[in-house]
Structure 1
Amino acid sequence: MRSEAENPWDIGLQNERTTLAWSRTALSFVVGGLVVVRFIAHSSTTLAIVFAAVTLPLAVVITWLAWRRYRRGQHRLHGRSPLPDGALPGAVAALAVLVGIIGIVYVLLS
């Protein structure tokens, strides 16, 4: 068993808090995406469907990546190996850019 001097913090709590933060981020994208779909639907139903078809599955992918990152992080923290890659931050950045571009297109077209 490891002593407190070797491990001054609980190995799992930091990883769990990070996972919950990523889950909240994905949830906020879902809610924000649904609000944007509602606004876009007033002017173009087709654009609203395309927006929903692209952004909502990306939010599901972010949630899946967060839980996968949690499992891999737990395994690696206990094995003292390097932490997971940056696929999750990349997916969130791509979704944020996509939402921003569609928002700009909506403003310019309306």
Structure 2
Amino acid sequence: MPQPRWRREGEEPDYRFTLANERTFLAWIRTALALLAGGVLLFEFAQSIGPRSLVLVLAVGLAVVAAVLGGLSYVRWRANEVAMRHGRPLPGSVVIPGLAAVSLLAAAVIAIMILTA
């Protein structure tokens, strides 16, 4: 399999940093899978906690966030690899506060749905 151009640029980083970056990528993927599982569980088993349309919107929303997070996890992994190869600081990300906000919003909506059921 041919290597992408960015993997041939700069210097090869210490393998420990590369492996740490991969572990972080896998953590993001696990988080995306957990969000997807939460959406599926809501859709399948949350019949009595709120209006079906609200449950459906929340389940689809979690699935969409999971898909976006899966894609952004690769983008973040690649940006970190490029930065390490060129000796630059690791880039910041709006994904972390965004994910926290989505999690807070989803938890609040579910809590309200349970309390009003």
Pick the TM interval, shorter chain. 0.7 to 0.9
Residues 24-48 of structure 1, C-alpha deviations (whole Å, 9 max, x = no match): 0110111022212333334421111
Q: Percent identity of the aligned residues?
A: 29
> Match of 2:99, as an amino acid?
V
By relative contact order (CA 8 Å, sep 6+), the higher-ranking structure is 2
Number of residue equivalences: 105
Whether the 8 Å CA contact 1:33–1:52 is kept in 2: the answer is: yes
Report the more deviating stretch, 19-28 or 38-47. Answer: 38-47
Alignment root-mean-square deviation, CA: 2.0
* Residue in 2 that maps onto 1:78: 85
Runs of 5+ consecutive residues of structure 2 not aligned to the other structure = 1-10
User: 1:63 and 2:70 equivalent?
Assistant: yes
State the alpha-carbon separation in 2 of the partners of residues 62 and 94 from structure 1. 13
Aligned to 1:20: 26
Cα contact 2:38–2:59 (8 A) shared by 1: no
The alignment's TM-score, normalised by the length of structure 2, stands at 0.78
Please state how far the C-alpha of 1:14 moved relative to its aligned partner: 0.9
User: Once the 2 structures are TM-superposed, how far is the Cα of residue 52 of structure 1 from its aligned partner?
Assistant: 1.9
Q: Which runs of 5 or more structure 1 residues have no equivalent in the other structure? A: none
| 2:16 corresponding residue in structure 1 | 10
- How far did 1:90 drift? 1.8
1:29 alignment partner in structure 2:
35
